Amino acid sequence: MTDPLISLKGEHRVIERALHALKGMCLRLEGGKPVEPEALLKLLDFIHISCYRGLHQPAEKCLVRTLLERGVQFKGGPLDNILFEHEVERRLVADLDSSVAAYNRGDPYASQPLINTANHYVDLMSDHIRNEEHVLFDIMSKVFEDQSIALLNMVFEPSDQELGGAACELFERMVTDLERGWAA
């Protein structure tokens, strides 16, 4: 049975590859060159399906809930910041959606707001991933016993099955395409 911490770290590495692609798109826009609307939409698809609502966040919610049930304090503690980052992430993804929509409509003023939002998102997610691996995962590895790891794996599996049972392969393909075309 796979340790969920190892699975989550693997998902983080895939998300980082998509962030490199987004950074590459920003550099191109900053240089005054266009980015194809399809590429921006593909990257947004990846964010929505993979790290925003598909596989990663349900898994994280499950972990947070399990930690709360086991008496780990979030309010005022180091984990509070991680929940705050999730809120900021949701707002930035909504901003990215509207910035990309404006850019893809051909709005001549849409490029700079898109660059700003995308860079902010890349910075936030890079810090967030580091925080999770150093703070959240460290606490988790101390709190969980073998039994709860088995329980967590049972909760994770349905989200993978909802996406057709081949979610990891799908994300891998999506991110490989994005990286090949755009990674900085």
Site residues, Fe ion (CB under 5 A): 60
Contact, 1 vs 150, CB < 8 A? yes
Q: How far is the CB of 101 from Fe ion (least distance, A)?
A: 25
68 and 121 in contact (C-beta within 8 Å)? no
> Least distance (Å) from Fe ion to the CB of residue 172?
20
Q: Which of 3, 13, 1, 41 is nearest to 168 (CA)?
A: 13
Nearer to Fe ion, 42 or 56 (CB): 56
CA distance 126 to 80: 17
Judged by beta carbon, residue 60 or residue 140, the one nearer Fe ion is 60
Smallest distance from Fe ion to CB 12, Å: 9
Q: How far is the CB of 34 from Fe ion (least distance, A)?
A: 32
Min. distance of Cβ 5 from Fe ion in angstroms? 13
Euclidean distance between CA atoms 157 and 77, whole angstroms: 30
Question: Residue 60 or residue 115: which is nearer to Fe ion going by CB?
Answer: 60
Q: What does the block give as tokens for 181?
A: 């075309």
| Cα–Cα distance for residue pair 148/144, rounded to 1 Å | 6
Nearer to Fe ion, 60 or 111 (CB): 60
Q: Which residue is nearest to Fe ion (CB)?
A: 60
Nearer to Fe ion, 26 or 60 (CB): 60
DSSP sequence for 45-85: HHIIIIIITTSHHHHHHHHHHHHHHTT---TTSHHHHHHHH
